[in-house]
Chains A and B, each alone.
Chain A
Amino acid sequence: MSTPVTERAPRVGRSSAAGYRGTKVRRQRVRAAWLFLAPMLVALTLVAGWPLLRTFYFSFTDASLSDTAGAAFIGIENYLVYDDGAWYGLLTDPVWWTSVWNTLYFSVVSVSLEVVFGIIVALLLNAEFKGRMLVRAAVLIPWAIPTIVSAKMWAWMLNDQFGIINHLLMALGIIDSPIAWTASATYSMWAVIMVDVWKTIPFVALLVLAALQMLPKDCYEAAEVDGIHPVKVFFRVTLPLITPALLVAVIFRLLDALRVFDVIYVLTSNSTSTMTMSIYARQQLVEFQDVGYGSAASTLLFLIIALAVVIYLYLGRRQLGVDQ
């Protein structure tokens, strides 16, 4: 690449960004900036923007997996249609609404548990003790294990006949007969939540730990001098101070939980009692080859998550504003 010589050297110092505004250097920098952004923008358009638009479009067609090009426009029939005295379409499908409910239930319960246990683990790791680094590394292990593998590991531990969990519960006299964790309608959602919580506590714990380590020491010393009970200190001082970090962790986890797929697919497959929106949409798209109908489900899922993102951006606006 050639090296054009600058005519005027930019002024040095804090005001330099404004200083060479409009100069050749600045124009060159802005041009270079867009040039550097171009590959990324092209890549994101190719794998995110365009496919998303196509998904929206497919949701208004009768496209099938084998023939997406020959799809015919059918309006909102995938969502809702009145035919021969009855309503049909996604919005009337009880399985879809079950999957919406399952997704929300899974998200709220698992994220709540993760936050509570994440805070506890973070508080433990924030204390000074021997072997702290070792414990922190150990706590990270569940996070590093691929979701598929953790689902398989737990599926084996939860196995109804030979699983160690039933074995332990029976040895302790908590249950009389083995529980079919992943097959029963009552327990399978809890099995899924259990695995998800196990895997993602580290993430929440690390974010909270990072926030804890940035807290000022002096107010704790003051509280100690005044003899205030540690539990009270936690709720009155620590919790309010780590709330921003906690909110970020919650939103990140919530967005992940709303699109959950892997763990459920491996643990309980397409069973209705744990079916989430992602599982439902993929089943329609790939297994039933109904791209139009599946895309309608994907579109609704996208809208729900977009709503969550908008709320997040609204909450995070202040942070983002400071950044710029």
Chain B
Amino acid sequence: MNQYQLTKLAKRVGFYALIAVVMVYAIFPFYYAVITSLKPSSDLFRVDFWLSTVDFGNYVQIFTQKSFVRAILNSIIVSLSVVFIALLLGITASYALGRVRFRGRTTVMLVILGVSMFPQVAVLSGLFEVIRGLGLYNNPAGLILSYTIFTLPFTVWVLTTFMKQLPMELEEAAIMDGATPWVTITKVFLPLMWPAMATTGLLAFIAAWNEFLFALTFTLTDDQRTVPVAIALISGGSQHELPWGPIMAASVTVTVPLVILVMIFQKRIVSGLTAGAVKG
């Protein structure tokens, strides 16, 4: 083997070693959570890199807890409603912003961009008052309402980008046929927008599923909480006696659906993220 081949080999080995490091770094914390969650509580405090026995005790414990099951249900309801509302309002708004030229369009776009950058804490006290005024305090409906602050601007922004890319001729044909804008949206654009809507819907779902600050502040009792808050508030006898087994089991439970979604839709997610940022 000569010098050239040797350096080439070294480079290849180095490259794959780097890839391996990145893989381990990305996956290990999740892997370790899975392992911890599957350990019997007697082995919990021994550091292991793989499982010798599988024990579902931690999962049994969290799923027999009514409040955790309830929290999962709340999270599903809240996230799905948020996605539905964001897409419904987003598709009509993006038609207006992406296909129609009118005075004030730039202003509306700037307002949307501005809202998407709001720190949540800045509206916390005002929103608290609104939610209590509407009688939605300690109610998942209050969360659905408040989550539109971050899902809606994002959805509108990305859908508008997609809407602009569709060819003009489509719409002109519809106008020629005398279709109203509403008919144009539902009959012409909606079928073409499904991929974009799937992407933004997915991202809105993940954002709503993961939200913490509003959920922590606007709910009070165990049966109204969403999963992130439920996990954050799992506590033991004292601060130093956290029940790590059940916490990891709960963490894995709420993460697995997301990881599967990401694996299946990684292409869509990537295109949505980059459309929201690069093109925005």
Contact = CB atoms under 8 A, between A and B. Distances in A.
A104 interface: no
A299 B115 CA distance: 15
Interface string B247-280: 1100100110011011100100110011001101
A278 interface: yes
Interface in B91-141: 92-93, 95-97, 100-102, 105-106, 108-115, 117-130, 132
B262 to A, nearest CB: 4
Contacts of A127: 15
A16 B270 CA distance: 35
B9 interface: no
Contacts of B85: 43
B63 interface: no
Contacts of A111: none
Contacts of B16: 129
Contacts of A41: 108
Contacts of B201: none
B22 A3 contact: no
A37 B97 contact: yes
Contact of B270 (A1, A5, A206, A259): A206
B231 A305 contact: no
A210 B118 contact: no
Given A51-B127, A149-B254, A302 B152 contact: no
A36 B96 contact: yes
B181 A29 contact: yes
Interface in A28-67: 28-30, 32-34, 36-37, 39-41, 43-44, 46-48, 50-55, 58, 63, 65
Contacts of B232: 148, 152, 265-266
B210 A147 contact: yes
A146 B254 contact: yes
A105 interface: no
Given A10-B172, A43-B89, A324-B106, A55 B263 contact: no
Given A164-B47, A261-B212, A281-B124, A144 B176 contact: no
A284 B47 CA distance: 39
A12 B168 CA distance: 9
Contacts of B118: 48, 52, 302, 305
Given A47-B145, A207-B274, A156 B126 contact: no
Contacts of B179: 3
A245 interface: yes
A90 to B, nearest CB: 14
B175 interface: yes
Interface string A264-308: 011000000000011001100110000100110011011001001
Given A39-B89, A136-B270, A211-B278, 9 more contacts: A1-B183, A40-B93, A46-B145, A47-B149, A50-B126, A52-B122, A146-B210, A262-B212, A298-B123
